[in-house]
A and B are shown apart, each in its own frame.
Chain A
Amino acid sequence: MSTRSPLSAKRRVLEIRATCQAAIRAFFRQRGFLEVETPVRIAAPALENHLDAEPSGTHYLRTSPELQMKQLLGAGYERIVQMGPCFRQREQGHWHRPEYTMLEWYRAQADYHDILADTRALLPAVCRAVHGTAVLSWGGRSLALDGEWTVHRVGELYRQWAGWDPVVDFDADRFDLDWVEYIAPALAEAATPVIVTDYPAAVAALARCKPDEPQVAERWELFIGGVELANAYSELTDPEEQRQRFAACTDERKQAGRTVYPLDEAFLQALHDGLPPCGGIALGVDRLVMLLADVPHIDDVNAF
């Protein structure tokens, strides 16, 4: 259920939102990132099994700016950041809105470890800008953002809480259900930020697989107080593997009766021309503001 309050009652949260966004921009500017704006309407959204794009005339509204951001990396922009609206069809709930604000940043000559270092510096800085301390008050709990962050490998989590290892033998349906029923509730109790890392290659999406452990993708997700806040990759730069993954996804989407989007040939060409090794991340700004403002519904952190 929505906990929509009248507009005038949202001032506190809207001020936190504005301070949060200003702090994010200042953080990246100080670190030499170039803030960019890529098109919101695109012809070819990234093909992923469970992401549906909102049609907009002959185009689609972007589900993420990643394909354009990576073309910029290929063109030699080494540190880029973007904060803006993204759209996902039919996603609505306490933590989801069909239109929401995403923060994405990318680094050339870097991987998901470097992105983690950025994230561990960014979140305390934003929390300090809003509250004057790096300790978050969330649902009656205190969570220190500048202290220890707990790291769990996906395989370990599933073995401990669900009794099987998706890295050894992947089952997509069970992977999602067991996550929601066993693992997410366990992570929600953690007293520190939690990094879940080394996902099975089957859910690598646009992440690179580990050179010495190809069944595992260099991908992590961040959870704070049980809230899924960000998803990071060492980006896949191999054009052939990327084309294969898009093709596999096209087949899966066709079978599931979902819209199949055209391939973004400009993106594939950029991979072909050579992308530097790079890392990137997508972080849900609305959810970050929910944590900062200690409110339970994503509608609470949006004016409308």
Chain B
Amino acid sequence: MYSASDLRKGLKIEIDGAPCVITDFQFVKPGKGQALYRCKIKNLITGSTVDKTYRAVEKIDKPNLEERELIYSYPDGEQFVFMDNSTYEQIHIGTDVLGNQRWFLVEDMEVNILFHNNRPIEVTLPFFIERTIAETEPGARGDTATNVMKPAKLDNGYEIQVPLFINEGDRVRIDTRTGKYADRVSKGF
């Protein structure tokens, strides 16, 4: 259990069995009143945010969290299979947890997975991955402006916005945190 005085920004706590993180924290003490701890709390599973005020005497549950490094292996229908290289345990994670991150999985990629009571709840990918552009309108030759964008499809079908000079076959780097184009790695031909 945590005491209210342990609370701080970034601390992970448990509310009604759900793992949560404190995204904003403020110590307040209204004139002549009791010490209070104002928190903005994000549910790590649903992503929803609530405001909550704790009194100094309140106790807060500690979540049973574990972080593990796993290797991405292969897709299996709507699921994605990750492997623990030390135990060879295979763990299936669905799109409900991965969301758009599923488009940025690369075979043998090392990922960080957060488990709550042995259930995967959050996946952290390497910040950048590389993929090949499968489909886009031909680029304007010599146009190296990076602020004008056009749609393009990756080799796995995911659509992103790329600068005009990008062509089919080009290898690009994508920021997995934003899902956006970062830069070109090499030209296709």
Contact = CB atoms under 8 A, between A and B. Distances in A.
B35 interface: yes
Contacts of A231: 31-32
A225 to B, nearest CB: 15
A205 B53 CA distance: 24
Given A1-B9, A177-B53, A181-B51, A93 B26 contact: yes
A179 B32 CA distance: 12
A190 B171 CA distance: 54
Contact of B30 (A1, A93, A180): A180
B134 to A, nearest CB: 44
Interface string B1-31: 0000100010000000000000000111111
Nearest to A183: B30
B99 interface: no
A181 B53 contact: yes
Interface in A1-24: 1
A49 B26 CA distance: 21
A228 B29 CA distance: 10
Contacts of A158: none
Assign chain A's interface to a size class: 20 to 34
Interface string A92-126: 11111000000000000000000000000000000
Given A173-B55, A180-B38, A181-B51, A50 B26 contact: no
B28 to A, nearest CB: 5
Interface residues of B, number: 17
Interface string B54-80: 010000000000000000000000000
B87 interface: no
B33 interface: yes
A177 B38 CA distance: 10
A50 B32 contact: yes
Nearest to B28: A180
A176 B9 contact: no
Contact of A221 (B31, B38, B55): B31
A184 interface: yes
Contact of B36 (A95, A177, A205): A177
Contact of B33 (A50, A91, A93, A95): A50
19 contacts: A48-B32, A49-B32, A49-B34, A50-B35, A90-B5, A93-B26, A94-B27, A96-B27, A176-B33, A176-B34, A177-B55, A179-B30, A180-B28, A180-B36, A180-B38, A184-B30, A203-B33, A228-B31, A231-B32
User: 6 tightest CB-CB pairs across the interface, nearest first?
Assistant: A93-B27, A176-B33, A179-B30, A176-B34, A221-B31, A50-B34
Interface of B: 5, 9, 26-36, 38, 51, 53, 55
